[in-house]
Structure 1
Amino acid sequence: MKITNIALAAATAAALAACGNAEQSASQEASAGSTATTEGKVVRIGSANPLTGPFAHWGRDADNGVKLAAEEANAEGLTLDGQKVSFEVVSEDDQADPKVATQVAQRFVDGGVAAVVGHLTSGAAIPASRIYNEAGIPMVAGSVTSPKFTQQGYNNTFRIIANDLQQGQALAKFAVGELKLKNIAIIDDRTTYGQGLADDFAKAVEAAGGKVVKREYTNNTATDFMAILTSLKGSKPELLFYGGMDAQAGPLVKQMRKLGMETRFMGADGVNTAEFAKLAGKAAEGAYASSAGASKELMPGFADFNTKYKAKFGGEIQAYAPYTYDATKVLIDAMKRAGSADPKKFLPEIGKTSLQGVTGPIAFENNGDVKNGTVTLYQLQDGAWKGVTPGSNAAASAAQ
């Protein structure tokens, strides 16, 4: 009787486990927008982003780009390795945390993903990339801007966006050369992204003939900046540059205005969002920021992509969905050319990419950087980010 009960319990447990696995698989397929199939091979693509916390609006947006590209590839009915394939997006929440990101990376490796799109932030992407490199898994980033990402000597890491060195130089030249602002204060959030960007900006300011009159630090969860701003106020900066994300930049600008500081404000791509304008309100008017890529108006495929994105997900594109969409297309294009979803076979093809994407032409330097990375400058006018061309009337009038 005991043996029978044990056997029955084991059978019941196995049935429940199988049911759970089926539900999990169905959930993953639904999240990827793909169709379940009883034939052929499923190719899994990892998508790593902060899906909870203050940067979740960025992460969900980036994840949507991957899903849309995979859904379109599934509609093609591709054959790889002699089998019909479908693509499944496995989405993981790395919380923009380096430690969590390495755990996510290991789960991707253990789960047998063919490639990874992500991670969203430089601080998460760099430690995770080491794990993918050891496993030989290709990684294409749509938003990682730290120069360190492609300075590690890995042959599996690529990005389709400009880096912070390029952003820092463009912003500094604009601030000092176009806006004629010489005395500049800097705050950064001590993350890989924020501090690295601030360092590059500071060097470029000095090179352009400006002066960094004060430099302070915060963190990427802070909300009270009054002490830091009071310290900065005494140095009378003409411009405050913030190296960090919109969640801190919004309250920072509001508190700056409460202190009566008329100092101009500037950030980079982490600030160039609708969320920043919402958080800062009227205090943000006139702020400057950059994007590590072409403006939406100049992206050759943006109009069509925007229509598809809204139809699928609703709402507005935050920032990086076009880049993660293109990153996914790069991976699938490499698989097509290799005729295989085996990373060992299609990884060498990624470096040979020559693709016209939503964001523009995509090809890679030997280190994995995108060729001819573009930086675009913006100013917040009437609550919306509008492109500013150096040397234009808009730039000249803003400097007066």
Structure 2
Amino acid sequence: MKEHAAPITRAWVLHPDIKSDRDRRDARLALAEAVSLAHALPGLEVAGEEVVPLPKPQPRALFGTGKIDELGQRLKAAEVELVLVDGPVTPVQQRNLEKAWNCKVLDRTGLILEIFSDRAATREGVLQVEMAHLNYQRTRLVRAWTHLERQRGGLGFVGGPGETQIEADRRAIDEQLVRLRRQLDKVVKTRALHRAARAKVPFPIVALVGYTNAGKSTLFNRLTGAEVMAEDMLFATLDPTMRQVHLPTGADIILSDTVGFISDLPTELVAAFRATLEEVLEADVIVHVRDISHPETDAQARDVDAILDNLGVSEATPQIELWNKIDRLDGPDLEAVRARAAREEAVHLGSAITGEGLYGLLDAVTTALGEAKRRDTITLAFDDGRRRAWLFQKGLVEAEEQSDEGYRLTVLWSATDRARFDSL
């Protein structure tokens, strides 16, 4: 965690409950999530929160004039410095609201970007967040600030005479984006080298995915003994963490903890964090961790599935669901969840806090790994004919060529095949 000496900012959280949106979420739960997002950003004090019923968004300022005046009185009385609007706010709406309320306004995308900026720890994470921020700011340049309407003269290498401030600002952002992409390319190449080195270790990758605050990092810590930041807070983990885990069967795996997903994840971040989520694309097994105690657990699961599809995760990759946090359920609720899980395939109940159900989860991972196939390139000495013959006998060899060191084989096999091969 980074150190913060910034003064406390009083914030007010608004969730516009847009009646014309047929796909809108439960307003009360959506507001609770928005407040959790606000608490995830250091230096903010939530002074108030409310759902604002809205027939439809107003192009000029999102809310109607009467509602803006009514909210403005409450914000002034509470000495609010920042209003967080849980939803998209256009640059024009943002400017007009800030003018009316005399305070800063941040929409859902802007807030999530701020949290990501605070939490990113690795060089790659920092670069990706900076790029996402710049892309977001670029969209805010359209009539976002009054000074952009002015014009200025320019030197040849800066911009032609009469270049508008908005053009200059946009070009400056584009130049910075080019610099960041170059830096990110270098970092991604370094990660590719790390992945290539890891591929030589015959350990399959098991990726933990799930909605933010589902308990992935707590589960990761329990299974690995690591000390990844695990708090009851949205986006507690932003950078991928990997550790070796010894399964009860004796097999070893690499367990990967990933950033939590969230509904309406800013498109800038989906693109920017694609490289961070490459571990999911390369996983042999995906464990989808769900907070089964959450009222919107099914909707959260659909959001996670949608992002996995967006990332291009193969349908052939085995997926297991862990319905986590059953320690928060009791009585009829717990029995109902147990009955429902019994009817589902590849679903396991458990608690990362108490450890209940985790042995069953690991058994399921072992079974799934036995079925999952991965492609490796191995080199056998010329006199290692017995193991080479075994590979061909099992039909695991896709290609073979000779080198100075021996036979170079491309094999498609399961973790079980690899373990048997190693024991020969």
| TM-score, normalised relative to structure 2 | 0.26
Higher relative contact order (CA 8 A, sep 6+): 1
| TM-score, normalised relative to structure 1 | 0.28
